[in-house]
Amino acid sequence: MPSGTEKAKEKFMQGVEKTRAPAEGSGVFGLSTALWLARSGYRRVTVFDMQDTASAGYDPGAGIESASADINKIIRFSYGSKIEYQRLASQAAEIWDEWNRDIAGLAEDELPEVLRRGQRQLWYKCGFLRMGAGSEFSDFELQTLRNMEKEGIRDTQFKSDDDAGEFLVSEVLLAFVAAHIERAERNGWAHKLDVCRRRERFGVHKAVLDSSAGFVVAYKACAWAQHLARKAGVEFILDREKGKVVGIDMTDHHKPVVRTADGVAREGDLIVVAGGGWTAGLLPEAEGLIETTAGSVATIQLPKDRPDLWDRFSPENFPVVTWGMSEGTGNDKDIYSFPRDENGIIKIGFRKTKWTNYSDVAGKSISVPKAAEKNIPMPAIEGIKEYISVNFPELAGLGLSSTWLCWYTDSIDNSFVVDFVPGRPRVAVCSGGSGHGFKFLPILGREVVKILEGKGDQTVYGQMWKWRASTAEKRNGLEEGEEGPRALEKQQMASREDWVF
């Protein structure tokens, strides 16, 4: 006799047996959903994508444009007061560790193509140095440390100096802080505490090094997750016509239908729209809840004949660095960078302003990704050049080697959106990554499946990610709309000449 939960699952299973189109989008949100559906016993899970992510191995250099198709992404556990995300990130990290081990142990022909070349490691625990741009620690930083103490993982954090003044929040914390540098030295992290020599050069360096964090090689991670999903039985239709969803309708007998660009309509029992920045274009009713914005990204190519730079910026010697991240102290710089990758590329991102691109979609004005935009606005180029000039002057002479826009899907409160779409039975949305979704690739689908099974109200993530609205004056920038100052068409775009310092 099945339990209530089993009954619900059984009912859902019967539907999915007939389904031909449950998930759309082979980015992190679609991949994780499909993988966990298949691993939870669901059959005939099909992923549609208009881009051939498999052949291109999610390589942005091969023309794949999505938030997930990238060189690298940060894995962090520092979430200020949002302890639920901190916990989920810690659980994800256990699977990232497992994936690293699994990949290392496999024969070459058991790996997806991109993992056969070069380094096999997905996740690098190289540390994450959160540098303040001023002389104070932000509230976010202090709250993060309190939460880490609560979770018993406070000893993974190293403060850049022994000045305990700003950490006088508890006796326990004071004791920790006093021993920070000594502890960093003992644990082999001291060389990453001040990689920009800020104390020596500016006399002040306010930073916390999180030794549990680092980055993942994004394109290889997606290719691996897709490989696992295929092995679990998921079918992928990745094609600019056969895989491109152009409409989601409903039959007379209330079954959702996916229409693709090749003119085929496929009836299903459940459709999950995980279209990243394209989601609001497909589900215009999500327009007040999520907004597509562009992040500005640039790279510096280290020359082959500079082994000193290759060594200095390697993950062994260099952490992920952020500078003046959302401090709220008037010193916001909102810049991040990675250690060099295996090809000698250093990626730098500008987060201070995320640009919008409003366009007419089914009579509504909706921000959508702008295809093939490689140039970034001038304020972003200037911010990135300032970051390099101030913190890594030895790189300035190299100039930038590429720029591009990478498309976020921001929600009104930076929390994800995973729920059934009001007024569209059996159509769900799985999106709103808001610039921090990648790290959850191994685990997100576990929570999505619970929500799709109708158990969202009983889970903390189901509650956090439900379809919602806000009348607040400030809604993460969504209140600005097409008239806002972040509109791409209002920006002066940088050109190659601006890549020189």
Ligand X SMILES: Cc1cc2nc3c(=O)[nH]c(=O)nc-3n(C[C@H](O)[C@H](O)[C@H](O)COP(=O)(O)OP(=O)(O)OC[C@H]3O[C@@H](n4cnc5c(N)ncnc54)[C@H](O)[C@@H]3O)c2cc1C
**Binding of ligand X by 50 (CB under 6 A):** yes
Nearer to ligand X, 68 or 180 (CB): 68
Site for ligand X (CB under 6 A): which residue of 112, 132, 256, 276? 276
Closest residue by Cα to residue 396 from 407, 388, 384, 408: 388
- Selected binder of ligand X within 256, 277, 315, 445 (CB under 6 A): 277
Residue 56's contacts (CB-CB under 8 Å, 6 or more residues apart) are: 62, 63, 64, 69
- Work out which of 274, 289, 321, 443 binds ligand X, going by CB under 6 A: 274
Span from 60-68, 103-111, 166-174, 201-209 in contact with ligand X (CB under 6 A)? 60-68
Cα 98–Cα 310–Cα 348 angle in degrees, nearest 5: 75
Reported as type and span, the H/E element at residue 310 is helix 307-312
Closest-CA residue to 50 (of 318, 326, 277): 277
Query: Counting beta carbons within 10 angstroms of the beta carbon of residue 9, is it exposed (0 to 12), middle (13 to 18) or buried (19 or more)?
Result: buried
Piece of the chain touching ligand X by CB under 6 A; list 21-29, 226-234, 386-394, 469-477: 21-29
Stretch binding ligand X (CB under 6 A), from 15-23, 38-46, 268-276, 306-314: 268-276
What is the torsion angle, in degrees rounded to the nearest 10, for the CA atoms of residue 451, residue 457, residue 461 and residue 467? 80
Write the CA distances from 492 to 178, 458, 486, 489, 498, integer angstroms. Answer: 48, 48, 11, 8, 12
Q: Which residues 6+ apart lie within 8 Å of 346 measured at CB?
A: 299, 300, 302, 313, 337, 338, 339, 340, 395
Residue written as tokens 């791409």? Answer: 488
Near ligand X by CB under 6 A: residue from 42, 48, 124, 219 = 48
d(C-alpha 455, C-alpha 55), whole Å? 36
Segment interacting with ligand X (CB under 6 A) among 67-75, 121-129, 131-139, 472-480: 67-75
Q: Closest CB to ligand X among 344 and 369?
A: 369
DSSP 8-state class, residue 466: S
Half-sphere exposure of 21 (CA within 13 A, CB side): 28
Nearer to ligand X, 133 or 222 (CB): 222
Residue 88 lies near ligand X (rule: CB under 6 A): no
- Binding to ligand X (CB under 6 A) within 195-234 occurs at none
Nearer to ligand X, 184 or 388 (CB): 388
Region of residue 432 (phi > 0: left; psi between -120 and 50: alpha; otherwise: beta): left
Buried b / exposed e along 62-83 (16+ C-beta atoms within 10 A): eebbbbbbbbbbbbbbbbbebb
Instruction: Name the segment binding ligand X (CB under 6 A); options: 3-11, 24-32, 393-401, 458-466.
Output: 24-32
Q: What residues are paired with 323 via a beta bridge?
A: 131, 335
Place of tokens 């932000």: 138
Interface with ligand X in residues 288-317 (CB under 6 A): 295, 297
The DSSP bridge partners found for residue 260 are 245
Of 107 and 371, the one with the shorter C-beta distance to ligand X is: 371
Please count the residues of this chain forming the interface with ligand X, following the rule CB under 6 A: 40
Give strand pairing partners of 402.
299
Site string for ligand X, 433-452 (x = CB under 6 A): x-xxxxx-------------
Q: Is 25 in the site for ligand X (CB under 6 A)?
A: yes
Write each residue from 397 to 436 as x if it is in contact with ligand X (CB under 6 A), else as -, in one continuous string.
Answer: ---------xxxx---------------------x-x-xx
Q: Which is nearer to ligand X, 183 or 337 (CB)?
A: 337
For ligand X, which residue of 19, 20, 22, 26 counts as binding (CB under 6 A)?
Answer: 26
Residue 461 tokens read as 């993530």
Q: Residue 260, Cα to own-chain centre: how many angstroms?
A: 27
Q: Measured between alpha carbons, how far is 355 from 374 in angstroms, rounded to an integer?
A: 14
Q: Does 27 bind ligand X (CB under 6 A)?
A: yes
- Residues in contact with ligand X, shown as a per-residue x/- string from 326 to 355 under the rule CB under 6 A: -----------------------x------
Q: Which stretch binds ligand X (CB under 6 A): 35-43, 161-169, 248-256, 273-281?
A: 273-281
Question: Considering only residues 40, 68, 212, 337, which one is a binding residue for ligand X as defined by CB under 6 A?
Answer: 68
Between residue 166 and residue 195, which ones bind ligand X under the rule CB under 6 A? none
Q: Are 437 and 399 in contact (CB under 8 A)?
A: no
Nearest residue (CB) to ligand X, 274 versus 449: 274
Shortest distance, position 184 Cβ to ligand X, whole Å: 24
Q: Is 74 in the site for ligand X (CB under 6 A)?
A: yes
- Taking the complex as a whole, the smallest distance from the CB of residue 279 to ligand X amounts, in Å, to 7
Residues at the interface with ligand X (CB under 6 A):
24-30, 48-51, 53, 66-68, 73-74, 243-245, 274-278, 282, 295, 297, 349, 406-409, 431, 433, 435-439
